């Protein structure tokens, strides 16, 4: 009888250890330098951190190097990365024509929020010096709290700031694209490009703190190909972080491009762009996206097929002279595949008469 109590206590302890095992397997790797090196010098760079997470190997033996990854890692940034209002440089300048390593194992790269819950600001920035910046190929990963700029190369292919492929359930939240932490514009050729990845979330339907800002893109802001059930909500396209100041002169050919193997505008099952048509006309509720159209061009929406099979096209109008304030305009359309494009368009060209899109 005297042995029962110790054995029961041991069994309870083993139960606690087993319950804690999944969480204990993940590592936190802290970036503490804006350098772009892989030297054993007592600092942890973002380049080293990604390799450490992918390979579960420390970046060096010196104190201050990146810890070894272990399972679903988190890559965060030290307090020295203090965002737009801080007193230090928080920009990682990549070596010319050199991209960061791809994220090949599940990880959360989290720069943090140096703003507020309603006016989020990334804490760290990455300047590409022309090349691609970051690619994710691992399921269940997160990219948050970073400003991406300068992916502007067009030699051989169109450079991207953030790309993902076969990265199901990827979350992209509270990032700035084409604008630095100091508010200066430096366009990416393509800000975000995704291929063959399902259930991806860009922004949030409920939290302003997860908003992405696609400020300046030379070709495309967000490109999605064969990405079923994607959610693109609560983001700003073509404005600064305030959501009202249009980034005049930096508008891409398209802010959002949906593609499939059938070409541009092809079927993507269950994809949702924006949110419900509700509230005051001209306002932007949480799920919607503010999308600023390019000035000095006509605007149109490609034909979409309603559930009944009828095809409709939105009207176009001639261009108007630009202005600097974004004006939200209602838009909603639905495809027969169940995909929905909803939100608010914002035009820098004055009050719209081409405005309301057909509702499926």
Long-range CB contacts (within 8 A, 24+) of 349-352: 349/293, 349/295, 349/319, 349/320, 349/321, 349/322, 349/323, 350/320, 350/321, 350/323, 351/327, 352/327
* pLDDT at 348 > cutoff 90: no
Do 138 and 60 share a structural domain?
no
The residue out of 61, 78, 95 marking a domain boundary is 78
Are 109 and 73 in contact, with CB atoms under 8 Å apart? Answer: no
Q: In the predicted model, is pLDDT for residue 12 greater than 50? A: no
**3-class SS at 14?**
helix
Tokens 């600092």 sit at which residue?
A: 43
Whether the pLDDT of residue 164 is over 60: the answer is: yes
Closest CA to 334 of 305, 298, 291, 302: 305
pLDDT number for residue 22 = 45
Helix or strand (DSSP H, E) at 353: none
Task: Tell whether 95 and 62 lie within a shared domain.
Answer: no
In a domain, 33, yes or no: yes
User: Of all residues in the chain, what percent carry a pLDDT higher than 90?
Assistant: 56
Of 220 and 304, the one with more pLDDT:
220
Distance CA 222, CA 230 (A): 12
Please report the pLDDT score of residue 282 as a whole number.
Answer: 56
Residue 58 is encoded by which pair of tokens? 């420390």
pLDDT digits (tens, 9 = 90+) for 315-339: 233 333 333 344 433 333 333 233 3
Q: For tokens 């380049």, what's the residue?
A: 47
Which among 50, 52, 18, 195 has a CA at the least distance from the CA of 126?
A: 50
Same domain, 58 and 126: no
Q: 4 in helix, strand or coil?
A: helix
User: What is the value of pTM for the model shown?
Assistant: 0.78
Final residue belonging to a domain, choices 52, 78, 104: 78
pLDDT of 329 reads 34
Q: 281, 268 in Cβ contact below 8 A?
A: no
| 112 and 159 share one domain | yes
User: What local confidence, expressed as pLDDT, does residue 253 receive?
Assistant: 74
Q: Which residues on neighbouring strands pair with residue 39, listed in sequence order?
A: none
> Cα angle at 183 between 286 and 80, to 5 degrees?
95
Q: What pLDDT score was predicted for residue 287?
A: 81
> Which tokens belong to 218?
């030379």
Residue 68 pLDDT > 60, yes or no? yes
Which residues 6+ apart lie within 8 Å of 84 measured at CB? 114, 115, 121, 181, 182, 183
Higher pLDDT, 317 or 102: 102
Query: Both 141 and 181 in a single domain?
Result: yes
Q: Is residue 5 part of a domain?
A: no
> Same domain for 135 and 276?
yes
pLDDT exceeds 90 at position 162: yes
> For the chain, how many structural domains are there in total?
2
Residue 229 has pLDDT above 70, yes or no: yes
Q: How confident is the model over 78-91, as a mean pLDDT?
A: 88
* pLDDT over 60 (residue 109): yes
* 189 and 239 together in one domain: yes
Distance CA 165, CA 141 (A): 12
**What is the domain extent for residue 58?**
26-78
pLDDT of 235-258, one tens digit each? 999 999 999 999 876 677 789 998
Task: Output the pLDDT for position 87.
Answer: 66
3-state secondary structure 86-108: CCCCCEEECCCCCCCCCECCCEE
User: Can you tell me which residue has the tokens 């630009």?
Assistant: 322
Provide the Cα torsion 65, 69, 73, 74; round to 10°: 0
Indicate whether 355 belongs to any domain: no
Q: Whole-angstrom Cα distance, residue 105 to residue 55?
A: 8
Which residue among 18, 51, 78 closes a domain?
78
Q: Which residue has the higher pLDDT, 97 or 49?
A: 49
Residue 252 belongs to a domain: yes
Asked whether residue 12 is domain-assigned, the answer is: no
Task: Please compute the mean of the pLDDT values over residues 24-52 and round it to a whole number.
Answer: 95
H or E stretch at 233: strand 231-233
Query: Is there a single domain that holds both residue 110 and residue 211?
Result: yes
Q: Give 2's contacts (C-beta < 8 A, 6+ positions apart).
A: none
Residue 204 forms part of a structural domain: yes
**224 with 299, same domain?**
yes
In this predicted structure, the answer to whether residue 154 has a pLDDT above a threshold of 80 is: no
Residue 18 lies in a domain: no
Same domain, residue pair 150 and 49: no
* 214, 238 contact by CB (below 8 A): yes
Q: Within a domain: residue 210?
A: yes
pLDDT above 70: percentage of residues in the chain:
68
149 plus 295 within the same structural domain: yes
| 332 shares a domain with 269 | yes
Q: Give which of 177, 260, 268, 278 is closest to 218, Cα–Cα.
A: 177
Q: What token pair was written down for 172?
A: 């992209």
Give the residue, 338 or 289, on which the prediction is more confident: 289
pLDDT of residue 327: 41
Query: Is the Cβ–Cβ distance between 260 and 303 less than 8 Å?
Result: no
Q: How far apart are CA 124 and CA 83, in angstroms?
A: 6
Instruction: Tell me what the mean pLDDT of segment 253-275 comes to.
Output: 77
């Amino acid at each position: 009888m005297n042995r029962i109590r110790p054995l029961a206590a041991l069994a309870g302890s083993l139960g606690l250890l087993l319950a804690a095992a999944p969480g204990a397997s993940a590592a936190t790797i802290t970036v503490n330098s804006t350098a772009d090196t892989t030297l054993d010098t007592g600092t942890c760079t973002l380049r080293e951190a990604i390799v450490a997470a992918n390979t579960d190997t420390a970046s060096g033996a010196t104190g201050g190097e990146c810890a070894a990854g272990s399972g679903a890692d988190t890559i965060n940034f030290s307090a020295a990365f203090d965002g737009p209002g801080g007193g230090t440089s928080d920009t990682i300048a990549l070596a010319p024509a050199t991209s960061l390593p791809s994220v090949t194992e599940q990880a959360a790269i989290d720069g943090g929020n140096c703003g507020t819950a309603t006016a989020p600001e990334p804490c760290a920035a990455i300047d590409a010096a022309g090349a691609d910046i970051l690619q994710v190929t691992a399921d269940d990963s997160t990219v948050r709290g970073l400003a991406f700029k300068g992916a502007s190369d067009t030699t051989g292919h169109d450079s991207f700031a953030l790309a993902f492929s076969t990265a199901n359930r990827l979350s992209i939240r509270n990032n700035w694209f084409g604008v630095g932490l100091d508010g200066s514009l430096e366009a990416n050729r393509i800000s975000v490009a995704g291929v063959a990845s399902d259930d991806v979330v860009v922004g949030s339907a409920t939290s302003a703190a997860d908003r992405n800002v696609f400020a300046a893109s030379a070709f495309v802001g967000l490109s999605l190909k064969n990405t079923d059930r994607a959610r693109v909500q609560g983001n700003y396209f073509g404005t600064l972080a305030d959501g009202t100041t249009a980034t005049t002169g930096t508008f891409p050919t398209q802010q959002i491009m949906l593609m499939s193997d059938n070409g541009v505008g092809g079927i993507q099952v269950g994809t949702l762009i924006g949110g419900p048509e509700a509230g005051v006309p001209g306002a932007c509720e949480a799920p919607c996206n503010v999308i600023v159209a390019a000035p000095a061009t006509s605007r149109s929406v490609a034909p979409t097929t309603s559930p009944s099979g009828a095809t409709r096209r939105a009207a176009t109008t001639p261009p108007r002279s630009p202005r600097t304030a974004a004006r939200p305009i209602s838009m909603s359309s639905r495809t027969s595949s169940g995909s929905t494009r909803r939100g608010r368009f914002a035009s820098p060209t004055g009050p719209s008469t081409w405005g309301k899109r057909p509702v499926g």
